[in-house]
Amino acid sequence: MSRQHLLLRELGLAPRWRLRHGAALELESVSMPVLAPVAANLVPAATPAQPVVAVPVVVPVAEAVPAPAVVEPATTALPDWADLQQQVASCTACGLCQTRTQAVFGKGNPRARLMLVGEAPGAEEDKLGLPFVGKAGQLLDNMLSAIGLGQDDVFIANVLKCRPPGNRNPAADEIAACADYLRWQIAHVQPEVLVTLGRFAAHALLQSDAAIGALRRETHQYQGIPLFVTFHPAYLLRSPGEKAKAWQDLLAIRRALANKA
Ligand code: SF4
**CA of 186 relative to ligand 1 center, distance in Å:** 17
Q: Which ligand 1 atom is at minimum distance from the Cα of 97?
A: 5
Q: What is the CATH number of the domain that holds 145?
A: 3.40.470.10
| pLDDT for position 42 | 31
Say if 73 falls within a structural domain. no
Structural domain range at position 19: 3-44
Q: Angle at the Cα of 232 (from 31 to 210), degrees rounded to 5?
A: 100
Say if 95 falls within a structural domain. no
> Please, which residues have CB within 8 angstroms of residue 232's CB and are 6 or more apart in sequence?
118, 119, 136, 197, 198, 199, 201
| pLDDT for position 77 | 86
Establish whether residue 201 lines the binding site of ligand 1, counting it when its CB lies within 6 angstroms of any ligand atom: no
pTM of the model: 0.76
Return the residue whose CA atom lies nearest to atom 2 of ligand 1. Answer: 178
| pLDDT for position 70 | 42
> Which one of 27, 44, 61 terminates a domain?
44
Establish whether residue 69 lines the binding site of ligand 1, counting it when its CB lies within 6 angstroms of any ligand atom: no
CB count, 10 Å around CB of 124? 16
Say if 96 falls within a structural domain. no
The lowest-confidence range among 7-11, 133-137, 168-172, 251-255 is 7-11
Please report, rounded to a whole number, the percentage of residues in the chain having pLDDT higher than 90. Answer: 69
Q: Strands 25-27 and 114-118: what pairing?
A: unpaired
**CA of 198 relative to ligand 1 center, distance in Å:** 19
Say if 53 falls within a structural domain. no
Establish whether residue 257 lines the binding site of ligand 1, counting it when its CB lies within 6 angstroms of any ligand atom: no
Count of domains observed in the chain: 2
Say if 61 falls within a structural domain. no
Establish whether residue 161 lines the binding site of ligand 1, counting it when its CB lies within 6 angstroms of any ligand atom: yes
pLDDT in tens, 183-196: 999 999 999 999 99
**CA of 238 relative to ligand 1 center, distance in Å:** 27
Establish whether residue 177 lines the binding site of ligand 1, counting it when its CB lies within 6 angstroms of any ligand atom: yes
pLDDT in tens, 73-111: 445 789 999 999 999 999 999 999 999 999 999 999 999
The residue type at 96: L
The residue to mutate among 117, 119, 158, 161, having the most atoms of ligand 1 within 8 angstroms of its beta carbon, is 161
What does the alpha-carbon distance between residue 74 and residue 165 come to, in Å, rounded to a whole number?
27
| pLDDT for position 3 | 58
Establish whether residue 160 lines the binding site of ligand 1, counting it when its CB lies within 6 angstroms of any ligand atom: yes
What does the alpha-carbon distance between residue 125 and residue 106 come to, in Å, rounded to a whole number?
10
Verify that 26 and 150 share a domain, yes or no: no
**CA of 145 relative to ligand 1 center, distance in Å:** 31
Say if 246 falls within a structural domain. yes
